[in-house]
Structure 1
Amino acid sequence: MAAGSEPSEELVALAAEAYVYGYPLVRGLSTVEDFMQEGVGSLAPAPFNHFAHDGGLAAPGTHLGDVSNDTVLSVAQLDLSGGPIRLHVPDTDGAYYVLQFVDAWTNNFAYLGRRATGTGEGDWIVAPPGWAGSEPAGVHGVIDAPTSVVSVVGRIACDGPDDMARVRALQEQFTLTHLEPGTHRTGLPAPDNGVPEQVRFFERLRVWMADFPPAVADCAYQDRFQPLELLEEGPSPYVRADPALVGALVEGMAQGRARVEAAGRGGGANGGGWRTDTHLFDYNLDRFGVGTIDSPEWKIADREASYLVRAVAASGALWGSHGYEAVHAHTFRDADGHRLNGAHAYVLRFEQPPPVGAFWSVTMYDVPDHRLVENAADRYAIGDRTPGLVRADDGSLTLHLSRERPADPAAAANWLPAPDGDFRPVLRLYQPGRAVLDGSYEIPAVERG
């Protein structure tokens, strides 16, 4: 490319493709760094190969959107560059939990927990790519990691503040130990600080793409980015890059970001105006370990199309789980298509309980930040574990969504407080049944009371 030349449309389009393709890697590993250096939300920072445990259920003031009020988080960032890690899990006595294993490209490649492996006590080995060691005696199995850095996202069901003592006791029993002597990283490979901020995204992508190679088929795809100098090794090509290349990268990043945002406004439809995420995490096409389902039903058929889905998931639901582990559905509108707003009272009537193998809940969030809503009742979610729910004689359950507490005692028992303005309820289905997964279960609409 001649110095000072204008970027071609082809180069800008290639940069947009590279942004969509590489955004999950950069977003995911940037979050890994945040976890280790500063902590995220209410989780304190923790170094590689140590768990950070949340101290309670999420509450108003949590600086994260769409945070669950059903489970308590335990998160660990694993570095396997020095060898395998031995993971111990406790006996939860049938109670729901999941440990979700996510590689550097945000692929969910293994699960432990109630659905996947049961709730008994045991040890597992998490092994780095290419490990040829022997499985130690007394372990349940080996989890082969696709990349040498792995995020373990743990969620333990909690039935409220009075249940936290049990949860804390379980958290202390999730342990990580080195299987072999070795030298482990203390941080991620560092991009060149001399790269201008406007193209820092592509520098992170260049460095991390080299250190955490994807599946072979993806490597073949990313070879197309050679004209962007993303495959250059050694000193960064972006410190003194040709202005035309910089222009292509900047414009391509803007176009790629717009593409991801536009795709994120879609989503699978269910009845009653609800939008579901059942297949948002089906972009893993290559690595299927313990607890995953290696089936066409859970794979996006078009590999290139999967890159955009993966970017959408990383943007709006980073480290979310496959639909067969949990399904989330949300709505902004009532049965007549009007925005849900605290100026009105609403009902959500379940003729039959949602079909789940574990439990379900409805959580209230404000708009547009999607955060929990402070209320005098100190109730932020309601579901089948909520004590004192009142069901009708026919077994149906009617939830009341309103700003003010209903005067009727039965309605008050089934009350989920709403904020003053617009709001957005989220229905979470843990271990969803087949009717949820095949779409035959229709979530009832929210109706104005």
Structure 2
Amino acid sequence: MSANTGLPGRLGSVVMDGELPRREEIATIFDELDYQLATQAYLWALPLVSYAQWSAVHRDTFGAGPGDLVHYSGYADRLGIITANATTPYILNFFDLAETGPLVIELPAGPTAGGVSDFWQREFGVLGEMGPDRGEGGKHLIVPPGEQPPADIAGYHVLTSTGMNIMFGFRTLDPDPARSKALVDGVRIYPYARRDDPPPTRIVAPDGKRWSGGQPRGIDYWARLHEIYQSEIVDERDRFHLAMLHQLGIEKGRPFAPDERLTCILTEASAAGELIAQANSFAKRFPGARWWPDRSWDHVLQLENSAQRAEHYDELLERAAWFYEAVTFSAAMNSQTPGLGQAYLGAYTDAAGAWLDGGRDYTLHVPADPPAKNFWSITVYDAATRCLIDNPQARGDRGSRDAELLRNDDGSVDLHFGPQAPAGREANWVQTLPGKHWFSYFRLYGPLEPYFEKSWKLGDITAV
């Protein structure tokens, strides 16, 4: 006796032989298993592939080596960074500690904010004003995982990395361009083994090159994942996911050579995984994600800490949500202390719940006295790339530091988004692109009590 399973999806067509599938159906069932494994592995690997891709851009597109730093200064430089701040320069690079051994980072004295994270984007060290040197400058020694620090570490701030591949990045906080440049030029990075004769640290610029730090699509996603895992340690918490990768032909010491069947499955799973990632990021269903119940603004960062670890589980979907739409994490980005760090709110829909459309006009009312000790800004991102909107205006943000911003008599601000500037309101307008969806981050730098108490309430992005 034969019958279909009645299951949804691909397995619904499987023909049964009594209580078991027909032998001819076994290949279809295993195809579905591999597809499901790949879809889940896609979500799990998002932060790792993101950094691996960005690192490859530094190496292959910018020509940055292990003794260099890449300086993203202008708007065009930052167009490939996922949800970059539109106004703050970034200085960073990626390093393989298996190649460098223990790594020295020298910071000059001055106002800087920096950090070091592994390729799972877990920050394991804070540098600069918030670090152990307190902005006074100093030498930081990064020790590879599983290694003991060298015997002679007097004068070093020692950090043990949680991964073999790391990112070091920092920002200068001095508003004076000349002093800021001097701080950038004063940073030195070199292997500890060359401490007696350290090579110079070169500053590299994107120089107008087109690039993307977003996770690649299709089979390229899996090729990048395979490449990075050849030089990465295995965390105990990831061993079941690595069993999934093993089934998909991704393993240490084994070439990635998927056959036609597996290539098709991985390509489909990459597309499905991204679709799920989009929903997981742009329509968050985490408890408490909606900051104000009657507004369309989400609290973007759902991770509890840099370790991505809640009390009883590791934050798989929270991590996937953030690292699909953004890069890097630090405690300062999810401030719980009034006046310190930053707060991030995200809007992906208008007041009516529709995706934000680049061909339509919208307004946003920012009430008076936004609760920010330092400043606030709102930035527009392309939904497909999650990067700054690449518009003819060559600008994707507006904020309280814009001297030309038009303010209402009560101190509130009305902002405009759309393909064309409203007459006389160019100073408050961000240009969007017809045919493309967009989303926005509203950032508060030094969020104050009315933000945490939710007594100050931002308006919705509203279609005109």
Question: Is the pair's TM-score, using the shorter chain for normalization, greater than 0.5?
Answer: yes
Alignment partners' CA distance in 2, 1:157 and 1:317: 22
Q: Normalised by the size of structure 1, how large is the TM-score?
A: 0.71
Is 1:110 matched with 2:119? Answer: no
Alignment partners' CA distance in 2, 1:245 and 1:333: 37
Look up the equivalent residue of 2:66 and give its one-letter code.
F
Of 416, 430, 434, the residue aligned with 1:418 is 430
Q: Deviations over 1:283-319 (max 9, x none)?
A: 734xxxxxxxxxxxxx445646x23333343332133
Alignment partners' CA distance in 2, 1:441 and 1:135: 53
Instruction: Single out whichever of 65-74 and 427-436 deviates more from structure 2.
Output: 427-436
Q: Name the residue aligned to 2:290.
A: 269
Alignment partners' CA distance in 2, 1:343 and 1:202: 37
Alignment partners' CA distance in 1, 2:77 and 2:327: 21
Of 206, 213, 216, the residue aligned with 2:236 is 216
Q: How does 1:375-386 map to 2 (within 5 A)?
A: 375=393, 381-386=397-402
Contiguous gaps of at least 5 residues in structure 2: 1-22, 200-216, 336-340
Q: Name the residue aligned to 1:323.
A: 334
Shift of 1:216: 1.9
Alignment partners' CA distance in 2, 1:400 and 1:205: 41
Q: How does 1:306-385 map to 2 (within 5 A)?
A: 306-321=315-330, 322-324=333-335, 325-331=341-347, 346=363, 348-356=365-373, 358-364=374-380, 370-371=388-389, 373-375=391-393, 381-385=397-401
Is 1:142 matched with 2:158? Answer: yes
Q: Name the residue aligned to 2:33.
A: 10
Alignment partners' CA distance in 2, 1:352 and 1:336: 26
Q: How does 1:36-435 map to 2 (within 5 A)?
A: 36-39=59-62, 45-54=63-72, 56-58=73-75, 62=79, 66-81=83-98, 82-93=100-111, 97-116=112-131, 118-132=134-148, 133-134=150-151, 136-139=153-156, 141-157=157-173, 163-181=176-194, 201-202=221-222, 204-206=224-226, 208-219=228-239, 221-223=241-243, 225-231=245-251, 233-236=252-255, 238-239=256-257, 241=259, 245=262, 248-267=265-284, 268-271=289-292, 272-280=295-303, 282=305, 284-285=307-308, 299-301=309-311, 303=313, 306-321=315-330, 322-324=333-335, 325-331=341-347, 346=363, 348-356=365-373, 358-364=374-380, 370-371=388-389, 373-375=391-393, 381-387=397-403, 396-401=411-416, 404=421, 415-419=427-431, 425-433=440-448
Contact preservation (8 Å) 1:381, 1:416: no
Q: Deviations over 1:171-197 (max 9, x none)?
A: 111221222249x9xxxxxxxxxxxx9
Contact preservation (8 Å) 1:86, 1:124: yes
Secondary structure of 1:219's aligned partner: helix
Sequence identity (%): 19
Alignment partners' CA distance in 2, 1:382 and 1:158: 21
Contact preservation (8 Å) 2:291, 2:297: yes
Q: Deviations over 1:241-284 (max 9, x none)?
A: 5x655555444444433322331222332333223312258473
Q: Normalised by the size of structure 2, how large is the TM-score?
A: 0.69
Contact preservation (8 Å) 2:83, 2:327: no
Alignment partners' CA distance in 1, 2:174 and 2:352: 35
Contact preservation (8 Å) 1:125, 1:143: yes
Contact preservation (8 Å) 2:52, 2:119: yes
Contact preservation (8 Å) 2:377, 2:442: yes
Contact preservation (8 Å) 1:86, 1:126: yes
Contiguous gaps of at least 5 residues in structure 1: 40-44, 185-196, 286-298
- Structure 1 residues 447 and 158, CA gap change in structure 2 (3 angstroms): farther
Contact preservation (8 Å) 2:70, 2:93: yes
Relative CO higher for 1 or 2, CA cutoff 8 Å, sep ≥ 6? Answer: 1
Alignment partners' CA distance in 1, 2:261 and 2:237: 30
Secondary structure of 2:115's aligned partner: strand
Alignment partners' CA distance in 1, 2:261 and 2:77: 47
Look up the equivalent residue of 1:112 and give its one-letter code.
L
Alignment partners' CA distance in 2, 1:126 and 1:143: 5
Q: Deviations over 1:411-435 (max 9, x none)?
A: 88xx322326677553222344466
Shift of 1:20: 2.3
Alignment partners' CA distance in 2, 1:317 and 1:387: 28
- Structure 1 residues 210 and 433, CA gap change in structure 2 (3 angstroms): farther
- Structure 1 residues 433 and 211, CA gap change in structure 2 (3 angstroms): farther
Shift of 1:154: 2.2
Alignment partners' CA distance in 1, 2:82 and 2:46: 20
Shift of 1:145: 1.0
- Structure 1 residues 105 and 343, CA gap change in structure 2 (3 angstroms): closer
Look up the equivalent residue of 1:418 and give its one-letter code.
V
Count residues with an aligned counterpart.
Answer: 396
- Structure 1 residues 30 and 62, CA gap change in structure 2 (3 angstroms): closer
Contact preservation (8 Å) 2:41, 2:241: no
Shift of 1:99: 1.6
Aligned-CA RMSD value: 4.1
Secondary structure of 2:431's aligned partner: coil
Look up the equivalent residue of 2:242 and give its one-letter code.
Q
Contact preservation (8 Å) 1:345, 1:401: yes
